[in-house]
Amino acid sequence: MQKNDLVTVAIEDIGVGGEGIGKVDGYTLFIKDAIIGDVVEAKIVKAKKNYGYARLMNIVTPSENRVEKPACPMARRCGGCQIQEMKYGAQLAFKEGKVREIYDNGDSLIMVATDRISCFDVILKNVVSKKGTVLTQMSKFWFDLTKDILPNHMISTDVKDMPEFFQKPEYDGNSMMCKKLEMLPIECIVRGYITGSGWKSYQENGTVCGITLPEGLRESDKLPEPIYTPSTKAEIGDHDENISFEQSVDHLEKYFPGKGREYAEKLRDNTIALYKKCAEYALSKGIIIADTKFEFGLDENGDLVIGDEMLTPDSSRFWPAEGYEPGHGQPSFDKQFARDWLKANPGNDWTLPQEIVDKTIDKYLQAYEMLTGKPLDK
């Protein structure tokens, strides 16, 4: 497959970002706005070795679960309630297999972090027990810790405060009632150490997302100061597209005329402030936060509020401080075990051995206990 190829694809699944997934001669394609059951014509916009992203050009045969128009006019821009091209009943059936489920509760949302796990934008077939509870309770911990910097969307994690439907064991501990926000279409990434894609870029031209860094840095080195590297969702497939600060101003201006620079500066300044406080705290507990991402929205008064999840192993890169040594990659408290095994075992049918599942949740639990000072009690 090559960029600009036109293909006809039957959509068989949906990715973690709500994009349709189909295969052409064994080659996986992610296609935004396509849903399970659609047969679509799509144009490839990015082709990688084993998968690619394509733009929906035409719906050849619509799914029986497709609706003519999403119920919410903000659906595509917000991203909080995905797959609104599907009938509501089909959405509910699909959400039973999602990594995170979001339910409309009138004037609030109920966010449920499940025990499913995704890698490379595909939801794996395994269940990772307690993962959802770790993510929810860790977000709660950070939300409580940072209220002095900025308010957040959390209302409660006690299912007794939620509708009766959620007052069941399967929702206890992994559910959060949240305020509804108008989400700002910027993913706020902050990097305190040079690693991952940032290290790769630095090796090529001495910059990370257009920011020039000092010469002589080694992989995993701490940066002189944290850097803010915003991204926006690419037009296709809800995948991150790095942008400069000035581009973030322009992007926000399109959605909020006259407010682009104000909002961009608030996002940058609060992202850095949150990172500095949390990184200092985490280091005192033996964990380095190498990088992370935040998402923000506006409440009913137009005030900036932290949304989504916060500083979990799914949204951050946590390293053990003990044994930290620049010059190479670091061990981490996340799903790297799962990623490494999948890379080393092609044709895996997206199913992990139990040993890898156990190692993954052990890392999540270890990070939670180190940061909070207590074992998970749910």
Average pLDDT over residues 81-98: 57
**Least confident interval from 1-15, 16-30, 236-250, 261-275:** 236-250
pLDDT, residue 75, reads: 53
pLDDT on residue 298: 97
Contact 193, 233 (CB under 8 A): no
Residue 279 has pLDDT above 60, yes or no: yes
Pick from 131, 162, 179: which residue ends a domain? 179
For residues 264 and 233, state if they share a domain: yes
Q: State the residue range of the domain holding 26.
A: 6-61
Last residue of a domain, one of 136, 164, 179: 179
Average pLDDT over residues 193-213: 95
229 and 274, same domain (yes or no): yes
Residue 286 lies in a domain: yes
Per-residue pLDDT band at 98 (split at 50, 70, 90): low
Closest CA to 34 of 90, 83, 96: 83
* Domain match, 207 and 308 both: yes
Task: Read off the pLDDT band of 347 (50, 70, 90).
Answer: confident
CATH code: domain of residue 113? 3.30.200.20
Average pLDDT over residues 88-114: 73
Within 8 A by CB and 6+ apart from 109, the residues are 80, 102, 103, 177, 178, 179, 180
pLDDT in tens, 109-165: 999 999 988 887 778 889 999 999 999 999 999 999 999 999 999 999 999 999 999
Overall number of domains in the chain: 3
* DSSP element (H, E) containing 117: strand 116-119
Residues paired with 177 in a beta bridge: 110, 156
Residue 244: pLDDT band with limits 50, 70, 90: very high
Q: Are residues 175 and 201 in the same domain?
A: no
CATH number at residue 255: 3.30.470.20
Mean pLDDT, the chain, rounded, equals 89
CB 204 within 8 A of CB 194: no
* pLDDT mean over 295-306: 96
186 CB burial (10 A radius; 0-12, 13-18, 19+): buried
- The tokens describing 352, both together, are 């992990």
| Burial status of residue 327 (CB atoms within 10 A of its CB: 0-12, 13-18, 19 or more) | exposed
Please check the confidence at residue 24 and state whether its pLDDT lies above 60.
Answer: yes
Would you say residue 249 lies in a domain?
yes
Q: What is the pLDDT of residues 27-77, one digit of tens each?
A: 889 898 888 899 999 999 998 877 889 999 999 998 888 877 665 655 555
Average pLDDT over residues 310-314: 94
Question: Of 16, 35, 61, which residue constitutes the final position of a domain?
Answer: 61
Share of the chain above pLDDT 70, in %: 89
Residues 125 and 11 in one domain: no
Do 173 and 187 reside in the same domain of the chain? Answer: no
Tokens of 356: 């890898």
Q: Is the Cβ–Cβ distance between 116 and 99 less than 8 Å?
A: yes
Q: What CA–CA distances, in Å, run from 322 to 30, 131, 283, 287, 288?
A: 39, 24, 10, 8, 9
Of 53, 4, 54, 59, nearest in space to 35 by CA: 59
Binning pLDDT at 50, 70 and 90, where does residue 82 land?
low
Mind spelling out the 3-state secondary structure of 38-84?
Answer: CEEEEEEEEECCCEEEEEEEEEEECCCCECCCCCCCCHHHHCCCCCC
Strand-pair category, 304-307 with 6-14: unpaired
- Whether 16 is covered by a domain: the verdict is yes
One domain for residues 32 and 101? no
> Same domain for 165 and 198?
no
- Which of 92-96, 123-127, 275-279 has the highest average model confidence (pLDDT)? 275-279
Query: For residue range 323-340, what is the model confidence (pLDDT) as tens digits?
Result: 999 999 999 998 888 988
Strands 188-193 and 222-228: antiparallel
Answer whether residue 308 is part of any domain.
yes
Say yes or no: 125 and 174 in one domain: yes
Do 124 and 258 share a structural domain?
Answer: no
pLDDT value at 89 more than 60: no
Residues 211 and 160 reside in one and the same domain? no
57 near 42, Cβ under 8 Å? yes
* Burial class of residue 312 (count of CB atoms within 10 Å of its CB; 0-12, 13-18, 19+): buried
